[in-house]
């Protein structure tokens, strides 16, 4: 009966896919398309609204999805609990006590159903994914399910399109017979969180490829992307004022281990060169963040590392900070 009600409800939400989501899927490894999301998997994703779960339920329409939910329905909202249960909710006590949810998860995995978890916890209105709580790791170890990270860009709307990036599956079966210490769990979680962030950057880079990114020798204004030619390549930064240009790295080459997001003056950024300023087509200008938002985002990244020439270099950083992608 629950299955019938689940698909009846999900069918009513197909209009969301047609008008609000229009989901486009990318893969970390294109050679493994549609081979990552097996039935018995634990999906981890970033989280911003109640729509996030619906995106994945519709994406996995023929693989009835379940999700881990904090049990907020014990008292005043008790009447909602049966509805959430039909939708696939597996309840966890708000105080974190009790392990009934693990046994329930094992039953779901045994039936070949995927489980969705949002390791960030509550809705996160941050520019970039927050650090994960590690509970999903023990669940994966206890159930034997592989973890599949999926990045969501939350681009919901009538004239928008949701983009997701499906990462390669993560197998933790080697830890099934090992007593995991807090230090080891933290180590695993830090590695997965870092890989998830790189997936986020990879998705942003793909979305930025469609912009023209033309440059001209014009005076920069707050929020502009500026660049200078260094040898055979360009170095990019975000202009805030004459005293502040936020850059990922330096115009002088450094080892990747030392590259951090930092702030310099325009003179320090340019040296004896004249900076070029990014100019976009008229049709693209609506995707530019307002100058105050650019400043807030850029400064929130100060000290950030994780440089990658493939997905997270100075140009990638400048694009995702200044563009609504």
**In the chain, what are the domain boundaries?**
2-206, 214-322
Asked if the domains at 2-206 and 214-322 fall in one CATH topology, the answer is: no
Whole-angstrom Cα distance, residue 297 to residue 222? 13
Q: Among 156, 152, 127, which residue's Cα sits nearest to residue 43?
A: 152
Q: Any bridge partners for residue 67, and if so which? A: 89, 116
Q: Is 290 in contact with 223 (CB distance < 8 Å)?
A: yes
47: its two tokens = 């989280």
Q: How far is CA 186 from CA 136, 137, 178, 193, 307, in A?
A: 12, 10, 15, 10, 22
Give me the sign of the Cα torsion angle 172, 176, 177, 183: positive
Predicted local distance difference test score (pLDDT) of residue 67: 92
Predicted local distance difference test score (pLDDT) of residue 132: 94
CATH architecture entry for 214-322: Alpha-Beta Complex (3.90)
Q: How far is CA 319 from CA 81, 164, 175, 206, 287, in A?
A: 43, 18, 39, 11, 11
Predicted local distance difference test score (pLDDT) of residue 120: 93
Predicted local distance difference test score (pLDDT) of residue 318: 98
Whole-angstrom Cα distance, residue 74 to residue 301? 40
CATH 3.40.920.10 corresponds to the domain 2-206: no
Could you list the pLDDT tens digit for every one of the 325 residues in the chain?
788 999 999 999 999 999 999 999 999 988 776 666 766 899 999 999 989 999 999 999 999 999 998 766 655 567 778 888 888 989 887 665 567 888 999 999 999 899 999 999 877 788 999 989 999 999 999 999 999 999 999 999 999 999 999 999 999 999 988 889 999 999 999 999 999 999 999 999 999 999 998 999 999 999 999 999 998 899 999 999 999 999 999 876 555 557 999 999 999 999 999 999 999 999 999 999 999 999 999 999 999 999 999 889 999 999 999 999 9
176: its two tokens = 């099934």
Rg of the chain in Å (alpha carbons)? 22
Q: How far is CA 137 from CA 183, 258, 303, in A?
A: 13, 30, 28
Whole-angstrom Cα distance, residue 124 to residue 129? 8
Q: Among 23, 65, 311, 27, which residue's Cα sits nearest to residue 166?
A: 27
Predicted local distance difference test score (pLDDT) of residue 100: 85
Q: Which residues contact 11 (CB under 8 A, 6 or more apart)?
A: none
Q: Among 219, 197, 160, which residue's Cα sits nearest to residue 307?
A: 197
Q: Is 187 in contact with 178 (CB distance < 8 Å)?
A: no
Q: Is 7 in contact with 38 (CB distance < 8 Å)?
A: no
């Amino acid at each position: 009966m629950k299955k019938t009600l689940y698909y009846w409800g999900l069918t009513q939400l197909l209009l969301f896919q047609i008008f609000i989501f229009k989901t486009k899927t990318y893969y970390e490894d294109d050679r493994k398309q549609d081979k990552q999301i097996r039935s018995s998997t634990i999906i981890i994703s970033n989280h911003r609204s109640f729509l996030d779960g619906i995106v994945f339920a519709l994406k996995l329409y023929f693989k009835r999805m379940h999700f881990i939910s904090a049990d907020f329905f014990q008292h005043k909202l008790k009447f909602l609990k049966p509805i959430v249960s039909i939708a696939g909710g597996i309840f966890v006590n708000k105080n974190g006590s009790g392990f009934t949810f693990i046994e329930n998860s094992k039953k779901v995995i045994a039936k070949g159903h995927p489980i969705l978890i949002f390791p960030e916890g509550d809705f996160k209105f941050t520019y970039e994914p927050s650090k994960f709580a590690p509970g999903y790791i023990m669940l994966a170890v206890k159930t034997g399910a592989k973890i599949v990270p999926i990045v969501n860009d939350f681009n919901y709307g009538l004239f928008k399109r949701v983009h997701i990036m499906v990462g390669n599956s993560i197998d933790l079966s080697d830890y099934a017979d090992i007593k995991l210490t807090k230090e080891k769990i933290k180590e695993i979680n830090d590695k997965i969180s870092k890989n998830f962030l790189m997936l986020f950057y990879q998705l942003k880079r793909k979305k930025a490829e469609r912009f023209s990114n033309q440059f001209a020798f014009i005076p920069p204004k707050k929020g502009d992307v500026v660049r200078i030619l260094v040898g055979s390549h360009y170095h990019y930064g975000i202009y805030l004022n004459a005293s502040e240009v936020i850059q990922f790295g330096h115009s002088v080459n450094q080892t990747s281990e030392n590259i951090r997001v930092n702030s310099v003056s325009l003179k320090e950024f340019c040296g004896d060169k004249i900076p070029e300023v990014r100019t976009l087509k008229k049709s693209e200008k609506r995707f530019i963040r307002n100058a105050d938002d650019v400043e807030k985002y850029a400064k929130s990244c100060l000290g950030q590392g994780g440089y990658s020439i493939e997905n997270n270099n100075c140009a990638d950083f400048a694009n995702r900070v200044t563009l609504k992608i």
